[in-house]
Amino acid sequence: MPISNEKTTETFALQSRWKELTVEVNSYLEDCIDSLTESCPRILREAMRYSLLSPGKRLRPILCLLGAEALGACVSDAMANAAAVEMIHSYSLIHDDLPAMDDDDLRRGRPTCHIQFDEATAILAGDGLQALAFETILTKTSVPEVAVQSCLLLAKAAGPEGMVGGQCDDLLAEKLGEAEKQVRAVDMLHAIHARKTGAMIRASVVLGGLAARGTTAELEKLAIYGDCIGIAFQIVDDLLDVESTSENTGKRTGKDSERGKLTFPGIYGVQASRDRAEKLVEQAIATIDSFGSAATPLKQLARYITDRSH
């Protein structure tokens, strides 16, 4: 019973802090969209706003802000980086949902961008958010060195060796024959998700560390933490696609198996996948233990990864 009470208290504390930070992030994101001039076409601004400010967990910007706090900085120091990482994430979701990619019609409980507007507008909205992410860092970060490092980190995580490369291989894997897929499945699964999901989650928390002017050793610990929870997050995402409903997750479920995608439960089984996620979370927590109480929210968030239901 004491353990249960402790977990309930911990969950409440994280939820409360998460809500506070989400309000700040949403307000900052809205200001970024509102600051666009009349040179930005109205329909493009509306599509960018629709996707960027849609109801979501804001996991990546929250990770960024908590990463900064873990190293003793104020959240305001990392807000530009937090906004930028959410812009990149939103752009990637818009493009992933397109008919040429994952062909989804539901995202965060609402019609996807290309359904709400049209395919061409959705592509341009994603392009706009990608560019705006880097503009936000460069114009709203007071320390030039931090701005340059942050842009480089985000570009690497989101680019051809990171998220985009992972998405490309994910699509290519669907076209493999069954025999080849079975031989290469394990290696491809890990290579895909270390980039498609893991790279941006790792970057999110390290971007917070950069904003806090963290040391090389501190940034490395944040990176390891990010790597661990990034893969754990993807494992749980795969499990939810198998075990949950679209009403609960806000997106279509069961689509991974329909498309023949490589998933953790598909290769390792449900229980083994869940065990793997829990071990990764424990590793993540142990890695940042030296940061002391300042890292408590990051530890709580890591535990949330395996407890979440959507």
Task: Give the pLDDT of the chain (310 residues) as one tens digit per residue.
Answer: 454 566 667 778 889 999 999 999 999 999 999 999 999 999 999 999 999 999 989 999 999 999 999 999 999 999 999 999 999 999 999 999 999 998 999 998 899 999 999 999 999 999 999 999 999 999 999 999 999 999 999 999 999 999 999 999 988 888 877 777 677 888 889 999 999 999 999 999 999 999 999 999 999 999 999 999 999 999 999 999 888 655 555 555 556 656 667 899 989 999 999 999 999 999 999 999 999 999 999 999 999 988 876 6
- pLDDT value of residue 1: 40
d(C-alpha 164, C-alpha 51), whole Å: 19
Which of 61, 54, 112, 63 is closest to 84 using CA atoms?
61
pTM (two decimals): 0.90
d(C-alpha 74, C-alpha 244), whole Å: 37
What is the tally of helices (H) and strands (E) in the chain?
Answer: 16, 2
d(C-alpha 94, C-alpha 129), whole Å: 10
Q: Where are the domains of the chain?
A: 2-307
Q: Rounded to whole angstroms, what are the CA distances from 233 to 73, 152, 240, 303? A: 26, 24, 10, 10
Within 8 A by CB and 6+ apart from 164, the residues are: 158
CATH 1.20.58.390 assigned to 2-307: no
- Beta strand 110-111 with 106-107: parallel, antiparallel or unpaired? antiparallel
* Angle between helix 198-211 and helix 163-174 axes, rounded to 10 deg: 170
- Helical (H) or strand (E) element with 65: helix 59-70
In the chain, which ranges are E strands?
A: 106-107, 110-111
d(C-alpha 264, C-alpha 276), whole Å: 9
